[in-house]
Each structure stands twice: as structure tokens, then as C-alpha cells.
A = this chain, B = another copy of it.
Amino acid sequence: MRKKKCIMVIGDGLGDRPVELLQGKTPLEVAKKPVINMLSLNGMTGLVHPYKPGIRVGTDVGHLCIFGYEPEKVYSGRGPIEAFSAGIELKADDVAFRANFATVSEDLTVIDRRTGRIREGTRLLAESLNGIEIDDCKIFVKELTEHRAAVVIRGEGLSDMVTDTDPGTAHEGEKVKRPLPTENTLEAEKTARVLWKFLMRAHEILKIHPVNVERQKNGLFPANFIITRGAGKLKKIEKITDIFKVKAACIAGDETILGIGKMCGFDVFTSNKFTGSFDTDYKGKALMALQKINEGYDFVVVHVKATDLAGHDNIPFKKVEVIENIETIFSLLYSNIDRLNTYLCLTADHTTPCSVRDHTCDPVPVFIWGSDVRKDGIQEFGEEYIKSGSLSGYTAKDVFYTLMDFMGYTEKYGA
């Protein structure tokens, strides 16, 4: 069977619900998107479950599903993904955490979980904590985008069954939570103890760090604490490039997505113009995707984060605008691909309805276009119109396997 190629665009949190400000339409339904409509008219469409009906997922799990994985087999918390993003190579017994540089008061009340989305100086702050030894363990800290960081504890007999120290968005103004074991084992108890000792030591170092002294001089909150969540250990994850012998590239601005991409076997590509926000370079992403296809990649993923941000911030008009930028991506792709041998797909990791300002379980809008696929004949690509499309009821994993099959990379089950 001849091999074909595919470019998949992921609109993070793309799906939505009817929005009053948009006369009861969704941002996707309102957006001007003639190319996307044409592609879905001549392709397969549907509302797809990221994981399972009724289950809402995070960005990490949503992407693992899009890439064909069963998260219960490969996912053990966000920590390991952040460590991957940060370039920390995890060993089997390490426990990894997703972390924020935060601002706390003297009694450890959390004043700002994100230190005003601090952008400068986090590398120096992380370096001042990296390599600290507590008891028989060593702790690694690496900064990520803005206030984010990865924290890894390495040592004998550790467990990821410990609670978050981050009180969470809804609980700002509360104190940092002391980590507790969530199972009655020596390992969990030890991990919680070492983590707390480390956070206290880090607090002492950060309080007097020159970066923070300077910030306070300028009237800015100091990044004087590390709060942690999403403890996890490494799970063995077979690369999709090994499973399907496909050459895969992931183009994104968001570091978490690049980390997930790396974990799954993608070669990852970014640019300083890909911001993971509204001001990202959409055209640049499309051109890079075309370039990767021409360089011999078979499966190229383009990630757009801003649809999710607009949902979280409840700015439906902004979400419409981002979708119209995704339209620009497809317009560029469609004009430049080898149409007989390339599939195009739009999907999402989850729905982030503006009205909810958080991820929900609503299935996500998907189309697959290709010169030889069945045509659902649906006139416009929107949540309401595509519900009877042939992909409705599929899971994101099903869509991925379907694409791999269309591209000619699957083995027949049986003979």
C-alpha cells in the first residue's frame, strides 16, 4: 500500500457551547472559515470524545489521546511531562512535579500563585535551587515558560502518592499546603517529608535571592516560594514513531505540548515567534508544517494554544478571531500540499466553553479531509452541524488510528 502524509492542526480547547453574545452560536459556528467549510464538506466530520464520553481531560491527557495512547497506561500526573519539557531525563524511581514560582507572605499565605506571571530571572532562581540535597535525595529544578518550573526528587524508595502543596486557583489567600502521603507507605511518607524540607530550604534561598531583591526594589512581588502539584513517576511510553514507523513532527509554542510531543516520539520544532498565546505566528506555523512535509516528515502536528486561553478567559470574540487564524493556516496548507497524497485534519484536545471557563467533557469538532475519503457532505463546520457526521462517537484515539490507516501505516488484524 502506498504511503500518504497528514497534517493535523490541534486547536487547544477549540470546542465550545452556544454563546449568548454570539446569538446562541458557538465561536466556531460564527467564525468566517470558507476553506475549513470546504474541507469538511468534502471530508469526514463529527463530534469526537477526547477520552471517553462524559470525561473531561486536561491538555496533557487530551494530547496523549489525540496521539493514540490510552492515558491509563502511559499517564501518571503532569510532573513527568513538565520534566520532559524542561529536558530533565527521568530515572525510573524519580518523582516529578509541576511547579510554580509563587509569592507567599511570612506565614506562608499564598499571595500570588504565579508571581505576576514572572518572565525574567527564573533561570537564575531555578539554578539557585538545582542540585540541593535533602537526606539521601537530590532535587532538580528547571524553569519553564513564565512562572512555571519542573521539580524532580531523585533517591531511593520514593513514591508519587503525595498531595499538592499548591492550594489551587480557587484558594489563593490560603496557606501553602504541607504535602501529605496519600497511601500508607514508607515511600510516600518519605517523599512528602523530603519535599517539604526542600520547599522550606528553597524558601530561605529565594527570599534573599538577588533577582527577588531587585524585583522588590521595583515594586514587584518576589518569587519566594515553589508550589508543587501533579506528582508523577515515569511510565514507559512506546513512541508512535516506533509503533507505526512514521516520521512525525510537532510544531508548537507551548512548552508542555513540546514536552508531550517529545515523550511520544515526535521531533519537536518551535520558534521565538510561536508564543503559545494570542500573538503567535499562525502563518509561520503553517509554513513550517509545509517545510517539514517537504523535508520528509509523514505526520505533522501544528498546535494552537490561544483557542483555549480565550475559553478560559471567556472572550468569545477573541476565540472567533483565533479560529479565523486557524482558517489562515488551512488556507495556506490547502494551497501548497500535494492534495492527492496528503490528509488534513482539525481536532482539539478538549472543549473549553467560554461560559464555563474550564475544560468540559463536551466532545470536540473534528474533520478529516483527503482526496479519497468518504464525504459527509456537511455544509458548514460547527458543533451543531456536524453532530451527525461519520466521526461522531469516535474517540480521539480512534481518529488517530483512522489517520494512520488512511496513511498506510497499519497492520491488518487477521488475514
Residues of chain A whose beta carbon lies under 8 Å from any beta carbon of chain B = 1, 17-18, 24, 26, 47, 51-62, 64, 71, 75, 77-78, 98, 229-230, 353, 355-363, 372-377, 383-384, 387-390, 392-395, 397-402, 404-406, 410, 412-415
Contact = CB atoms under 8 A, between A and B. Distances in A.
B383 A415 contact: no
Nearest to A2: B356
Contact of A412 (B57, B64, B402, B413): B57
A372 B54 contact: no
Contacts of A51: 413
A414 B62 CA distance: 8
A401 B361 contact: yes
Contact of A55 (B54, B384, B413, B415): B413
Contacts of A405: 54-56, 360-361
A402 B53 contact: yes
Contact of A53 (B61, B98, B398, B414): B398
How would you classify the secondary structure of chain A's contact residues: helix, strand, loop or mixed?
Answer: loop
B376 A53 contact: no
Given A54-B402, A414-B62, A387 B384 contact: no
Given A1-B356, A54-B400, A361-B406, 8 more contacts: A17-B372, A47-B390, A51-B413, A58-B412, A61-B413, A64-B414, A359-B412, A360-B406
Given A59-B415, A405-B360, A18 B390 contact: no
A383 B373 CA distance: 11
A69 to B, nearest CB: 12
A123 to B, nearest CB: 24
A78 B394 contact: no
Contact of A18 (B360, B372, B410): B372
A197 B218 CA distance: 85
Contact of A415 (B47, B58, B357): B58
Given A374-B18, A401-B55, A415 B384 contact: no
A400 B55 CA distance: 10
Contacts of A414: 57-62, 64, 71, 75, 78
Most B CB contacts (10 A, CB to CB) among A53, A55, A60, A387 go to A387
Nearest to A52: B398
A356 B395 CA distance: 24
A358 B413 contact: no
Contacts of A229: 415
A359 B362 CA distance: 31
Contacts of A415: 58-60, 77-78, 98, 229-230
Contacts of A410: 55-56, 361
Nearest to A385: B377
B390 A387 contact: yes
Nearest to A397: B54
Contacts of A26: 374
Contacts of A399: 54
Contact of A17 (B24, B360, B374): B374
Contacts of A77: 415
A392 B18 CA distance: 20
Most B CB contacts (10 A, CB to CB) among A47, A51, A53 go to A53
A324 to B, nearest CB: 21
Contacts of A388: 387-388
